[in-house]
Amino acid sequence: MTKRTTGNRFFQSLRIQKIAAGIAVLAVFVTVLSLVLYEGTKKNISLAADGKTIELKTHAATVADVLALQDIEVGSHDAVTPAADTPVEDGMSIDWKKANPVAVNMNNDTTTIWTTESTVGSVLKEAGVELSEHDAVTPALDSKVGEDGEITVDKAFQVTLKDGSKTKKVWSTSTTVADFLKNENVQLSELDRVEGDKQKLVLPKSVISVVRVEKVTDVVEETTDFDVKTRADETLLKGREKVVAKGQKGKVRKRFEIVKENGKEVSRKLIREHVVSHPKPKVVSVGAKVEIASAPAAKSVKTVKAAAAAKQPAVTTASAKTSVSRGNGGESGKVMYMNATAYTAHCTGCSGITATGINLAANPGMKVIAVDPGVIPLGSKVWVEGYGYAIAGDTGGAIKGNRIDLHVPNNAAARQFGRRQVKVKVLN
């Protein structure tokens, strides 16, 4: 082979290499140009997802395509802005918020809602829960929903609080009486009490009663009655009385412990008693002198005759000691009409001895009447219609005013007399 031929092959090879290099450069240029042109046609967008924001260049046609390219699975409750089928435009901002389940506990009922809201207040608003100023919400309305995804709403209701003598209506969300009292800042003293069980549940329209108890001391002064002492007086006619010494009441100072509930006294206990002054007895002299009537024989006969003429039984000196004739009350004297009953010496509560000292038990036939001394003085001789002459020689607890009680020998006579109105004449 000649040198010429060899030189041609060399140049031919060199030319081929140059062509290949040119083609390679051209291919690189075309590739780079294509890449530049491809990137240049991408749209610039901003994507906010799960609290983070990133800037993207994309050829995605719709918002849904953008999210899919970012491996974001959109749930049915998620919020996407703008809508998923919105065409992508240059400079667009896309916002995706993932919905989370939140359990809302209210009125012993739990409802789960899916929401993209993050604060308690916005979640409840989205759920349509209406709140009053008295309702209690946990967590607080302006706080974030907790990791447990749970919100508790205690709806307030009205209860009646009786605190001592005061009554008022109160809004409450408490679960027990003890919680309610604590929330209402009701302070109890050692003696105060709450009616019912403090651990009892508070329900709508419940009535909670607090009894305010206090102990106080009261000091009072009281008078004490004096005794009445009687003594026989031989110088005073029987049936007469004379006050020798007036009685004087005593005085006692008493200290009481008083328990009050809601301001009203419920118990009173005597804890100390002191005698300030002792009573002085009343002393009464009771007549014991008995006058025995005596008269000349002639006068006695005249009396018998006069009685016979009047067809009435005669009064003798011997019988005058134990009985008085029935008579007709012809003598002059003060006349009055009285309501009369009858009694015996052996009646219930009777001693057989009258207030003036007459022994009726020993003299069952003696005519004695019980009177009110303020109306008919004791010892007076009287005439009673249907009963005859008698002595006002006794008193009685029920004998007041225009009432008298007539002594009769036995119960049969008392029942027979019954109750009637009679004419009475006071003879002396």
Give the integer Cα–Cα distance in Å for 314 and 405.
25
Residue 292 has pLDDT above 50, yes or no: no
Most confident of 173-187, 327-341, 367-381: 367-381
57: domain CATH number? 3.10.20.30
Residue 6 lies in a domain: no
- Contact of 391 with 368, CB cutoff 8 Å: yes
Q: What is the pLDDT of residue 293?
A: 37
Q: What is the pLDDT of residue 104?
A: 92
Span 102-119, pLDDT tens digits: 999 987 789 898 898 889
**Same structural domain, 390 and 417:** yes
197: domain CATH number? 3.10.20.90
Which one of 288, 304, 332 terminates a domain?
288
CA-CA-CA-CA torsion sign (363, 364, 367, 373): positive
Residue 294 lies in a domain: no
Domain ranges, residue 363: 322-426
- Contact of 337 with 384, CB cutoff 8 Å: no
Residue 316 lies in a domain: no
Q: What is the pLDDT of residue 257?
A: 95
> What's the mean per-residue pLDDT of the chain?
82
Strand partners, 341: 405
Which one of 66, 82, 97 terminates a domain?
97
Residue 44 has pLDDT above 80, yes or no: yes
357: domain CATH number? 2.40.40.10
Neighbouring residues of 307: CB distance < 8 A, sequence distance ≥ 6: 313, 314, 315
**Same structural domain, 328 and 414:** yes
Give the integer Cα–Cα distance in Å for 411 and 163.
64
- 182 vs 174, residue with greater confidence: 182
Residue 293 lies in a domain: no
Q: What is the pLDDT of residue 106?
A: 86
**Same structural domain, 247 and 261:** yes
> With b meaning 16 or more CB within 10 Å and e meaning fewer, what string describes 393-420?
bbbbeebeeebbbbbbeeeeebeebeee
**Same structural domain, 237 and 283:** yes
**Same structural domain, 226 and 241:** yes
Q: What is the pLDDT of residue 391?
A: 95
Confidence band of 276 (pLDDT split at 50, 70, 90): very high
Residues above pLDDT 70, as percent of the chain: 84
**Same structural domain, 204 and 278:** no
Residue 93 lies in a domain: yes
Q: What is the pLDDT of residue 347?
A: 85
**Same structural domain, 90 and 106:** no
Segment 48-63 shows an average pLDDT of 85
**Same structural domain, 148 and 165:** no
Burial label, 192 (beta-carbon count in 10 A; 0-12, 13-18, 19+): middle
Span 8-35, pLDDT tens digits: 666 677 777 777 777 777 766 656 555 5
Structural domain tally of the chain?
5
* Type of residue found at 397: G
**Same structural domain, 86 and 147:** no
**Same structural domain, 239 and 335:** no
Span 87-99, pLDDT tens digits: 988 889 889 888 8
**Same structural domain, 49 and 70:** yes
Confidence band of 281 (pLDDT split at 50, 70, 90): very high
> How many Cα atoms sit within 13 Å of 296 on the Cβ side?
3
- 161 vs 322, residue with greater confidence: 161
Q: What is the pLDDT of residue 6?
A: 60
**Same structural domain, 327 and 417:** yes
Residue 295 lies in a domain: no
Residue 306 lies in a domain: no
Residue 311 has pLDDT above 80, yes or no: no
Residue 242 lies in a domain: yes
266: domain CATH number? 2.20.230.10
Which one of 246, 266, 288 terminates a domain?
288
